[in-house]
Amino acid sequence: MKSNRKWIAYVIYGLLGAALIALGMLDVVDSFWSGMGGALIAMSVIRGIQFVRLKKNEEYREKMATEMADERNRFIRNKAWAWAGYLFVFIVAISTVVFKLLGQDLLSMAAGFAVCILVLLYWVCYLVLNKKY
């Protein structure tokens, strides 16, 4: 039953993407939304292919299940998220200063708020996880 829901979701994403592209071609929405439609179609096709492959290929399904449950891979995924978070804060903090120097006050403020929100989220998650573990 759960797999049928996933398949239906992929079809809905694809149809939504096609609708956004069609609306973009009719100049009802701008290019951002038609680009989003293309991304939705690509995602639904790729996930649909992966879904079919998981259903039909027992060896591939076992390999993917092992990769998702493997402690080493889990550690690497968590480490990659940590690095991405650090790099994001560093890059956005620098962009806050650069945007301010370039006179782009609104972009500077948005970048600064993004850093603040991420740091706030970090501390909330830290406090929750600290109590849990």
The C-alpha atoms of residue 124 and residue 114 are separated, in whole angstroms, by 15
**Per-residue confidence of the chain (133 residues) as pLDDT tens digits?**
567 888 899 999 999 999 999 999 999 999 999 999 999 999 999 998 988 888 888 888 888 888 778 888 889 989 999 999 999 999 999 999 999 999 999 999 999 999 999 999 999 999 999 998 8
Tell me the residue type at 6: K
Torsion angles phi and psi, residue 111, rounded to 5: -65, -40
Nearest to 34 by CA among 44, 46, 45, 20: 20
The C-alpha atoms of residue 106 and residue 100 are separated, in whole angstroms, by 9
Q: What is the DSSP letter of 70?
A: -
